Amino acid sequence: MGGEIKSVYRLLLKEYGEQGWWPINNFYSRSFKKRKRTPEERFEIAVGAILTQNTSWENAKKALHNLREADALSGEEMGKLREEELARLIKPARYYNMKAKKLREFLRYDGPPERERMLGIWGIGPETVDSMLLYAWGKPEFMIDAYTKRIFSRLGMCPKDVEYEELKKMFEENLPEDAALYNEYHALIVKHAQEHCRARPACRGCPLENICEKKGIERQ
Ligand code: SF4
């Protein structure tokens, strides 16, 4: 399994190149994954991770833009906003009333960046916590999303209804404990889900076609 997981990574990297995640103020940089984040960057990433729950990054980006324009992209300034005002600013990210509550819960958290502790924040599940820890704090926590489940179940490497923690463990046990690698791998998974392994997959020309079992999809 370890060899297959590494092969998928190599093939995706060869096809798409480095993705430069996480975009700070909409700027992608290949050096980002290797350097320490500033506190401002951490905050922006953590807020972005909440805003992008159940919506596209494009929508989250518009909400981040509104927050930046309103000078509310810092813990101190965001904390001064009334919940309704915060909800209004993040409206493009959808579910804005709920997300405003989640942001305020996150602002109240003053513990360390530790998975178990952060999983106790209301409204913040494992996917969001792992994306915060990986991208904002540079910690080696592999994050799983619906794209990861879709691609790796079609490849035949996990069941379609695999549990979050089980799939996370599969990656972490078969890859070196390396935050920069996890950063790039997840970004490549997202890219691949957008380019080829979409809901209706475009298998022709897919860089993984030779190793894919195409489980659960009609033969093309
Ligand atoms: S061959 Fe098709 S199903 Fe398999 S990874 Fe590529 S696009 Fe997805």
CATH 1.10.340.30 residue ranges for the chain: 38-137
**Looking up tokens 């794209």, which residue turns up?**
147
Q: What is the mean pLDDT of residues 16-44?
A: 94
Q: pLDDT tens, 66-119?
A: 999 999 999 999 999 999 999 999 999 999 999 999 999 999 999 999 999 999
Give pLDDT tens digits for 123-178: 999 999 999 999 999 999 999 999 999 999 999 999 999 999 999 999 999 999 99
Please give the pLDDT value at position 217: 85
Q: Could you tell me the distance, in angstroms and rounded to a whole number, from the CA of residue 217 to the centre of ligand 1?
A: 9
Contact assessment for residue 188 and residue 13, using Cβ atoms and an 8 Å cutoff: yes
Ligand 1: centre distance to CA 14 (Å): 16
Ligand 1 centroid to 7 CA: how many Å? 14
* CATH (residue range 38-137): 1.10.340.30
Nearest to 194 by CA among 150, 157, 163: 150
Q: Please say if the pLDDT value at position 220 is more than 70.
A: no
Mean pLDDT of the chain: 96
CA of 213 to the centre of ligand 1 (A): 8
Tell me the CA distances in angstroms from 185 to 2, 5, 41, 82, 208, one per residue in order: 14, 10, 21, 38, 14
pLDDT score recorded for residue 3: 80
pLDDT at 189 over 60: yes
At residue 171, the pLDDT reads 98
Asked if the model's pLDDT at residue 191 lies above 70, the reply is yes
Q: Whose CA is nearest to atom 3 of ligand 1?
A: 214
**pLDDT classification of 202: cutoffs 50, 70, 90:** very high
Helix (H, G, I), strand (E, B) or coil at 29: coil
CA distance 33 to 161: 30
Q: Which CATH number fits domain 1-20+142-220: 1.10.3720.10, 3.40.50.280, 1.10.1670.10, 3.30.930.10?
A: 1.10.1670.10
Of all atoms in ligand 1, which is nearest to the CA of residue 213? 4
Question: How confident is the model at residue 200, as a pLDDT?
Answer: 96
Structural Rg of the chain based on CA atoms: 18
Model pLDDT, residue 153: 97
Cα-to-centroid distance, 56 and ligand 1 (Å): 22
Q: How far is the CA of 147 from the centre of ligand 1 (A)?
A: 12
Candidate from 7, 152, 154 with most ligand 1 atoms within 8 A of CB, to mutate: 154
- What angle do the packed helices 57-69 and 39-51 form, to 10 degrees? 130
pLDDT of 43 over the 90 cut: yes
pLDDT bracket for residue 219 (50, 70, 90): low
> Ligand 1 centre from 211 Cα, in Å?
9
Q: Which residues pair with 24 in a beta bridge?
A: 27
Using CB distances shorter than 6 Å, the residues near ligand 1 are: 151, 154-155, 196-197, 201-203, 206, 208-209, 212, 214, 217
The residue whose CA is least distant from atom 2 of ligand 1 is 203
ipTM value of the model? Answer: 0.99
Q: Which atom of ligand 1 is nearest to the CA of 155?
A: 4
